[in-house]
Chains A and B, each alone.
Chain A
Amino acid sequence: MVNLTINGIQFQAETGLTILQAARTQGIYIPTLCHDERLVAHGACRICVVEVKGARALMPSCSTPAAEGMVIETQSPTVVEARKEILRLMIENHPLDCLTCEKSGNCTLQNLCYEYDIKEGGFNGKKKNYPIDDSNPFFTYDPNKCILCGRCVRVDNELQCTGAINFIERGFNTHVGVAGDREFDDSVCVSCGNCVSVCPVGALMPKQPEKFRYWDIEKVRTTCSYCGVGCQMDLLVKNNKVVGVEPIDMEPNNGLLCVKGKFGYKFLNHPDRLRTPLIRKDGVLKEASWDEAMNLIASKIKDFKKESGPEAFGALSSARCTNEENYLMQKLFRAVIGTNNVDHCARL
């Protein structure tokens, strides 16, 4: 354990924590932009700087280990002024586009500018001017809104391990891009969308089926239905229509999704989607209730079992079901119907 004093509060923290992690154990808030608990500390944005007594300069709390006897101030005038200057520099080279920006309401840069009352940079400097990359079918990339926090690069290289994107060039010309500075569509990108999920600003944005603002949507927590992993996610719902998906940072997916979970939700509102069971009556499929359908299946199973015995049955289940559902399926066939003819599409 190490003894720390943060904002006058004395406490013991476990050895090995960063100042940020130690502060959070006490509910002390320190703003962050490039920080992500799942990734190797990067210390790029410097918004999390704190004053450590005796230290030469302000220290990035996300990457400075908490050491014995440290006396730390997280909101001192020097710290606040440093954060303001960082925000001024960021907003100077960022389009002032909150009026119509799709990220507005969910943008960390916007939230911090509000918190520290930064309205503009005021340096009258140069602004980036890159073309918008619209080539990927699932997301758009506007490098002009990028603040170079590196979360996309790190999630791609450390967690997704595709290695499609990285920093290109140096200094003012630094930007995030794919190999050879080509378009996303012309790269090894697998469109998992994890870079889109972690972008704190409007640089990487999902292509949406319809326009919406973050303050007009409702979030509905659900489990992805594509495979048995059971990734946790929030559906973004506007007027009872799913308009986006965001991963949740918890087991089993820890804030990650694949291309299907992240972007493959448009079938939900598709007019061809079956919404009720269909029962064939006089050669035509007609909509029926679940009770009707279940009763029909049960009675047919009984009839066939009486007629041909349990070995006439076979069951094939799906890798898209959960382990529990697959277990119940084989249980139903072994214990209720009485056959071992059970198989699974993922066995091959």
Chain B
Amino acid sequence: MEMINLTIDGIPVRVAKGATVMEAAKTIGIDIPALCYLKDVNEVGACRICVVEVERARSLQASCVLPAAEGMVVHTESPSVIAARKEILRLILDNHPNDCLTCDKAGECKLQEYAYRYDVKFREHDGDRKTARIDTSNPYIYRDDSKCILCGRCVSICGQIQERSILGFGNRGFTTHIIADNEKALGESACVSCGRCISVCPVGALLDNRIIGKARAWEAQKEEVKCKRCDYGCDFELLKKDDKVVGVRAKAPGGGRPLCLKGKLSLDLLYTNSPSAPLIKKDGEYTEVTWAEALEMEDLLKKLGQSNNL
């Protein structure tokens, strides 16, 4: 394997050819901030928070998509890098609600993490702001457009499943926002509520509607579980408060499998202390149904019932 030698923050690093500067930095324990970057899902260099200074380069470079090159000399926290990151954060915050007081993402929010790390606060301004557009049409996914930072992670992960590809970017410039199908409410779109988008959203724009208000990120104990509904075993997370499971949320798809609502509901029923009733779409409307129907086990239960009678 061809190896590349470079220097990051004065430390010599040796990585395989093809690795990005961000990956190279990670091998020596340097954590470069990333908002839009998500390995194998979204590698687009959109948010620019990961910029680094490369000696003799014309401008700051996005380290998440910059391949490490022989002899490169990189600075990840130089004054110009920090100034750029602060400015990026200020611009994002200028168009983001000051809502950490009650936001369900607080404590797990990447924007909050980096604003704290670089000491950037909300500022007063009389410029335009996005208007709050909260979409609660889907009972499983809470969508608040005003918190979206347009990183594109949700669009990418939704687009990885060809028959889904519900989410996309709509409009241009300041009015750019995430749309479902052709600007439909999520509940009216072809969305199957798999929760892939929720699992990757770095901010509070996409949340699991069934756990909102149940526990703050810092008071919930988390336990990872595998879904056993099918052979792929997607990763889910139990949220516990006072030793009671208050919710189950999708964490990551299993290899080759997309995450699905049936899996999520099965785990909800299996683990949650008092799970909310399941809803499935019938004639375009979300309707409350029995667990047997939601989990498609009616036939099986009927058969079991008959065999009991024998």
Q: Are A and B bound to each other?
A: yes
Q: Name which residue of chain B comes closest to A91, CB basis.
A: B101
Docked CA distance A309–B198 (Å): 77
Checking B93, B107, B122 against A105 with a beta-carbon cut-off of 8 angstroms, the contacting residue is B107
Q: Known contacts A110-B101, A113-B101; decide if A98 and B121 are in contact (CB<8 Å).
A: no
- B106 — which chain A residues lie within 8 A by C-beta? 98, 104-105
Chain A 90-102, CB-CB to B under 8 Å as 1, else 0, gives: 0100001111100
Contact in complex: B116, A96 (CB < 8 Å):
no
Contact of B102 among A100, A114, A211, A213 (CB under 8 A): A114
Residues in chain A near residue B217, CB distance under 8 A: 215
* Interface check B112, CB cutoff 8 A: yes
- Determine whether the beta carbon of B101 is less than 8 Å from that of A119: yes
Q: Is the interface on chain B under 10, 10 to 19, 20 to 34, or 35 or more residues? A: 20 to 34
Interface hub of A99, A100, A117 (most chain B Cβ within 10 A): A99
Contacts of A96 in B (CB 8 A): 98, 101, 122
Enumerate chain A residues within 8 angstroms of B112, measured Cβ to Cβ. Answer: 99
Identify the closest chain B residue to A97 (Cβ): B121
A211 to chain B, nearest CB (A): 7
Check B101 against A98 for contact (C-beta < 8 Å).
yes
A118–B102 CA distance with the chains assembled, in angstroms? 7
User: In the complex the two chains form, what is the Cα distance from A114 to B120 in whole Å?
Assistant: 23
Measured CB to CB, the closest approach of chain A to B82, in angstroms, equals 14
A198-254 with Cβ < 8 A to chain B: 211, 213-215
Partner of A113, one of B93, B102, B116, B117: B102
With beta carbons under 8 angstroms apart, the residue of B98, B119, B216 that contacts A111 is: B216
CB-CB under 8 A from B223, the residues of chain A are: none
Query: Range of interface residues on chain A?
Result: 10 to 19
Q: Which residues from B are CB-within-8-Å of A214? A: 218
Residues of A within 8 A of B117 (CB): 211
> Residue B218 contacts which of A113, A118, A211, A215 (CB distance < 8 angstroms)?
A215
Min CB–CB distance A59 → chain B (angstroms):
28
249-278 of chain B: CB within 8 A of chain A: none
CA distance A214 to B115 in the complex (A): 15
Among residues 82 to 117 in chain B, which have CB atoms less than 8 Å away from a CB atom of chain A? 93, 98-102, 106-107, 112-113, 115-117
Residue numbers in B under 8 Å from A118 (CB-CB): 101-102
Cα of A100 to Cα of B116 in the assembled complex, Å: 5
Residues of chain B with a CB closer than 8 A to A110's CB: 101
Contact with A along B208-219 (1 / 0, CB 8 A): 000001001110
Q: Which of B99, B101, B119, B216 contacts A100 (CB 8 A)?
A: B119
**What residues of chain A lie closer than 8 Å to B115, measured between beta carbons?**
99-100
Binary contact readout A67-97 vs B (1 if CB under 8 angstroms, 0 otherwise)? 0000000000000000000000001000011
Q: Per-position contact with B for A106-135: 1 when CB-CB < 8 Å, else 0? A: 000011011001110000000000000000
In the bound assembly, the distance between CA atoms of A180 and B122 in angstroms comes to 34
Contact of B98 (CB < 8 Å), options: A99, A104, A211 = A99
Expressed in whole angstroms, the minimum distance between the Cβ of A90 and any Cβ of chain B is: 11
| CB atoms of B121 and A119 under 8 A apart | no
B73–chain A nearest beta-carbon distance, Å = 28
Q: Is the CB of A99 within 8 A of B218?
A: no
Q: Which residues of A contact B99 (CB under 8 A)?
A: 119
Q: How far is the CA of A104 from the CA of B108 in the complex (A)?
A: 12
- Cβ distance B149 to chain A, nearest Cβ, rounded Å: 14
B100: contacting residue among A91, A99, A211, A215, CB under 8 A? A99
Whether A100 pairs with B107 at a CB distance below 8 angstroms is no
* CB-based contact B216/A104 at 8 Å: no
Tell me the complex Cα distance, A100–B113, Å: 8
**What residues on A are CB-neighbors of B113 within 8 Å?**
213
Min CB distance, A25 to chain B, in Å? 18
In the complex, the answer to whether B102 meets A99 with C-beta atoms within 8 Å is no
Enumerate chain A residues within 8 angstroms of B102, measured Cβ to Cβ: 113-114, 117-119
Complex alpha-carbon distance, A213 and B110, angstroms: 13
Question: In the complex, A67→B62 CA distance in Å?
Answer: 68
Listed by A's residue number, 26 A-B pairs whose Cβ atoms lie within 8 Å are A91-B101, A96-B98, A96-B101, A97-B121, A98-B100, A99-B112, A99-B116, A99-B121, A100-B116, A100-B119, A104-B100, A104-B107, A105-B106, A105-B107, A105-B218, A110-B101, A113-B101, A114-B213, A117-B102, A117-B213, A118-B102, A119-B99, A119-B101, A211-B117, A215-B107, A215-B217
A residues touching B (Cβ–Cβ < 8 Å)? 91, 96-100, 104-105, 110-111, 113-114, 117-119, 211, 213-215
Q: Can you list the 5 inter-chain pairs with the closest CB atoms, starting with the nearest?
A: A215-B218, A98-B100, A105-B218, A215-B107, A99-B100
Known: A99-B98, A211-B117. 8 other contacts (CB 8 A): A96-B122, A98-B101, A99-B100, A100-B120, A105-B107, A105-B216, A111-B216, A119-B99
